[in-house]
Amino acid sequence: MNTIQKIAVNAAAVTVLFVLSGCAGMSQQDKNTAIGAGVGAVGGSVLTGGSTTGTVGGAAVGGIIGHEIKK
């Protein structure tokens, strides 16, 4: 693995740690919304072959579904 790839992997790991620490004060409904949006974005991206529209649409639908769970 070259230097640029190592830097990118380390930057991604640090970003994930910061994002996860920001979830500490969230309610359960907020956490469900965030998880739903993340899963929806990945699903939309996979189903549309990496299309930006599919990713954003999947995130929106997933966020709404996650928000409505256990309401």
Rg of the chain over all Cα atoms, to the nearest angstrom: 15
What's the average pLDDT block by block, 10 residues per block, for the chain (71 residues)? 77 76 82 87 87 89 91 66
- Contact between residue 39 and residue 60 where contact means Cβ atoms under 8 Å apart: no
Q: Is the pTM of this model over 0.85?
A: no
Q: Distance between CA 45 and CA 17 in Å, rounded?
A: 23
Q: Which of 55, 50, 15, 21 is nearest to 39 (CA)?
A: 55
Q: Distance between CA 12 and CA 9 in Å, rounded?
A: 5
